[in-house]
Chain A
Amino acid sequence: MGFIMRNPYLPYPVRIEEITIETEDKNIKTLKLVFLNHDDEKNFSYNAGQFAELSVAGKGEIPIGIASSPTEKGYLMFTVNKVGLVTSALHSMKPGDIIGIRGPLGNHYPWDILRGKNVLIIGGGFAFTTLRSSIIYMLDPVNRPEFKEIHVIYGARSPGMLLYKDELAEWEARDDINMHITVDSTNDPDWKYNVGFVPTVTEQKAPPGTENTYAIICGPPVMIKFTQPVLDKLNYQHDKIIMSLEMRMKCGIGMCGRCNIGKEFVCKDGPVFTLAKLNTMPKEY
Chain B
Amino acid sequence: MKVIQIDKKNWAKGLERINKSYRLFGPVKENGLHVFKELEKGKLPDLNYLNTTLSPKSVVYPQSEIMLEYELDVSKENHHVMKETEKDYSQRALIGVRPCDTAAFLLVKPNFDTPEYKDPYWLRSYEATTFVGLACNNPQSTCFCTSAGYGPFNEDGLDILLVDTDDHFLAKIISSKGEDFLRAAGWETNIDPDTAKNIISEMKQQAENKITSFVSTEKLKDKEVNKLFNAPFWENLAFACINCGTCTYVCPTCWCFDVQDETHVSSGIRIRNWDSCMFPLFTLHGSGHNPRNTSTQRVRQRFMHKLKYYVDKYNNGIQCVGCGRCIRLCPVNIDIRKICNTMNNYE
Tell me, rounded to whole Å, the shortest Cβ–Cβ distance linking B247 to chain A: 14
Identify which of A11, A248, A260, A281 contacts B82 (C-beta below 8 A): A11
CB-defined contacts of B226 to chain A, threshold 8 Å:
280-282
Is B21 part of the contact surface with A, judged by Cβ < 8 Å?
A: no
The answer to whether A246 touches B285 (Cβ under 8 A) is yes
Q: A13-B82, A97-B80, A98-B80 are in contact. Are A250 and B120 (CB under 8 A)?
A: no
> Which residues 139-180 of B sit at the A interface, judged by CB distance below 8 A?
none
Q: CA of A55 to CA of B292 in the docked complex: distance in angstroms?
A: 26
Is A113 part of the contact surface with B, judged by Cβ < 8 Å?
A: no
CB-defined contacts of A263 to chain B, threshold 8 Å:
225, 308-310, 312-313
The answer to whether A247 touches B118 (Cβ under 8 A) is no
Q: CA of A31 to CA of B292 in the docked complex: distance in angstroms?
A: 32
Is B113 part of the contact surface with A, judged by Cβ < 8 Å?
A: yes
The answer to whether B277 touches A258 (Cβ under 8 A) is yes
How many chain B residues sit at the interface, stated as a range, is: 35 or more
Interface string of A9-27 (1 = CB under 8 A from B): 1110100000000000000
The answer to whether A57 touches B118 (Cβ under 8 A) is no
The answer to whether B309 touches A248 (Cβ under 8 A) is no
CB-defined contacts of A221 to chain B, threshold 8 Å:
289
In the complex, which residue of chain A has the Cβ closest to the Cβ of B226? A282
The answer to whether B118 touches A257 (Cβ under 8 A) is no
Identify which of A8, A58, A97, A261 contacts B117 (C-beta below 8 A): A8
Stretch at the interface among B130-138, B181-189, B252-260: B252-260
CB-defined contacts of A7 to chain B, threshold 8 Å:
84, 120
Identify which of B78, B81, B229, B277 contacts A282 (C-beta below 8 A): B229
Is B67 part of the contact surface with A, judged by Cβ < 8 Å?
A: yes
How many chain A residues sit at the interface, stated as a range, is: 35 or more
In the complex, which residue of chain A has the Cβ closest to the Cβ of B289? A221
Q: CA of A224 to CA of B277 in the docked complex: distance in angstroms?
A: 27
The answer to whether B256 touches A98 (Cβ under 8 A) is no
Interface string of B256-283 (1 = CB under 8 A from A): 1111110100001010100101000011
Task: Give A contacts to B, CB under 8 Å.
Answer: 1, 3, 5, 7-11, 13, 36, 55, 57-61, 83-84, 87, 97-100, 221, 246-248, 250-251, 253-263, 268, 280-282, 284-285
6 other A-B residue contacts (CB within 8 Å) besides A10-B82, A13-B80, A247-B285 = A13-B81, A57-B82, A255-B111, A256-B256, A258-B275, A282-B229
Task: Give B contacts to A, CB under 8 Å.
Answer: 67-68, 70, 72, 78-82, 84, 111-114, 116-120, 123-124, 127, 225-226, 229-230, 255-261, 263, 268, 270, 272, 275, 277, 282-287, 289, 291-292, 297, 301, 304-305, 308-310, 312-313
